[in-house]
Amino acid sequence: MNGARVLLVVSGGIAAYKAAALTSTLVQKGASVDVILTADAERFIAPLTFAALTARPVYSSLWDAPERIPHIRLVREAEVAIVAPATANIIAKLRAGIADDLATTALLAARIPVLIAPAMNAAMYENEVTVENIATLKARGYEMIEPDSGFLAEREHGVGRLASEERLLEAIEGARARRRSLLGKRVLITAGPSQEPFDPVRFIGNASTGATGIALADEAARRGAEVTLLLGPTLLAPPYGVRTERFATAQELLDLALRESREIDLTIAAAAVADWRPSERSAEKRKKSDETLHVDLERTPDVLAAIAAAGGSKCIVGFAAETNDHEAHAREKMERKSLDAIVVNDVRAGAGFGLQENGLVLLVRSGARIDLGRASKRTLAGRLFDALEPLLKERT
């Protein structure tokens, strides 16, 4: 923890006093801690307590040192933010994107790992609204530190006690480790569909939105990698701070990939590239008629095989979007294209293209099989990198 830069947000619950003990331990371990108190938190514990523990100013208002723009500066200077305790109120605000004080404004601006440690009465924690709010924040990439069960402030027993200090410290250290795990690594990710035109307004394509590849690029950047994203036609925005190059056709992607894949530590080919394209492209829009239209197709270039053959990437991971015999087809593709690993992506109804959730399995050339489960694409991106990092360490 020595040298860690932590932003602690304390909201207004009885467990606010435990945040002071957490702050003391962090400081003793060598961390630099900035503290934001909500207005309600100040009813439970005074700012002076945290100022004495951290030897730093304590913030509670957007108008504290406004010339320094605290809601931006505090999250830019920190490695990790933790909300402890997190009340049902601040959880609901984060879910809705409400930014009506320094705490919520800073958290909305955060591009660092944000840990949420709920603490409230069991009835509030188990209410379906809170359950839904927490699930939504998890899907967006917030990390939840589940509360403990035990004696509550209302002299009841149940779930809702702030997680133990040991668990909070482990979560902070884990977030810091993930943020640094790809530091110094160069990562290339392809994402989105290709579009193969046969006239100026029509094309052959697929339903991919690029969401999985975008989530992977964002996760790699959060872990400290230098990321290049090759992104096909999509309405989704690329991650903040990630260098992005656009392509439309498979040939354009191939040209970009061969240019960008030199001296790359890890390539993840998540793009859904069309396998065929019209052999001829009309310069003018084909007019509708009663006659049957016949279009001759030819194979598009095999982008992934070309990247592997070029040898510029130390570790290459492909994707296999399958509807049947998933793993058998994926293993054959992995061997045929000389990949280090392949991710099996089930694109049957209810999963895959255009949906928020997916189910993934990682197959490694050594024979290992890692079931990443079914979850949001943001969550799966984290699980995939957790699984790939040991393989990347071997290759690099």
* Nearest alpha-carbon partner for 82 in 14, 31, 42, 123: 31
CA distance 34 to 22: 12
> What values do phi and psi take at 378, rounded to 5?
-65, -45
Which tokens in the block code for residue 168?
């909070």
- Annotated catalytic residue 89: no
Task: Select which of 206, 324, 345, 358 is catalytic.
Answer: 206
Just list the catalytic residues.
206
